[in-house]
Chains A and B, each alone.
Chain A
Amino acid sequence: MNQDKHLISGAISQEFVAQKLAEHQSREQIGAHAIFMGQVRADQINGHVTMGIEYSAYDEMIGKVVEEIKTDLFSRFDDLVCIHIWHSTGMVKVGEMSLFVLVSSGHRKQSFAALEDCVEQIKMKLPVWKKEIFTDGSHLWQGI
């Protein structure tokens, strides 16, 4: 049932995004794509400057959580055609992309609303952890 691979090793490339959009051209009932891209920010925390983020994930649980999020969104937004979620694992440098969410619907309104809802659910439920890597070689686990 779950045919998507949700985890991508390293940064999500612009080519990958373009390829995924192109794959939707044949789905002619789609009238709107809403896209969210998460990019690694150059944070400064207590004098340390972020160089990148090392992501780790609970691979075996991700598919179940993504299916849960999709089922919830499809039950509340009847104009949705498809939802895709890709998240990086491993090192992603400042300026690179670590999250790609693609929500497609017949018309624009539901794609915007469902996209925001989807990203919030990802933040709350997706078993992924970020380790902030600083330019001085130290690191910080976020969220503890």
Chain B
Amino acid sequence: MDKITIKFFGVLSEVAGTTEEEIPISVDTKSLLDLLKQKYSDLSGLQYSVAVNQVISGENRKISAGDEIALLPPFTGG
């Protein structure tokens, strides 16, 4: 089965208990997030944006095999 890589950053890596995991492909980012919220219930209360292959996308996007999806909490560099 086709796989995708999920990356968790900042506080989200604590919520997920990992910084990265490989899971079977979801059809789009919305269905992926629904799945992740079921898997990690604490995700729901947190703010984050979603990047597909290092590009942030505010809208629901189709996912292809091998894509890298990252969940990014608000940036706090500096």
Contact = CB atoms under 8 A, between A and B. Distances in A.
B54 A126 contact: no
B75 to A, nearest CB: 6
11 contacts: A55-B77, A58-B7, A123-B78, A127-B51, A128-B77, A128-B78, A129-B9, A130-B78, A143-B10, A144-B11, A144-B73
Determine the interface band of chain B, counting residues with CB < 8 A from chain A. Answer: 20 to 34
Contacts of A57: 77
Interface of A: 38, 55-58, 60-61, 64, 87, 98-99, 119, 122-131, 141-144
Contacts of A64: 54-55
A122 B54 contact: no
Contacts of B73: 129, 141, 143-144
Contacts of A55: 77
A144 B75 contact: no
A123 B46 CA distance: 20
B70 A123 contact: no
A128 B46 CA distance: 17
B4 interface: no
A65 B74 CA distance: 15
B56 to A, nearest CB: 9
A125 B75 contact: yes
Given A56-B9, A61-B70, A128 B75 contact: yes
A136 B75 CA distance: 25
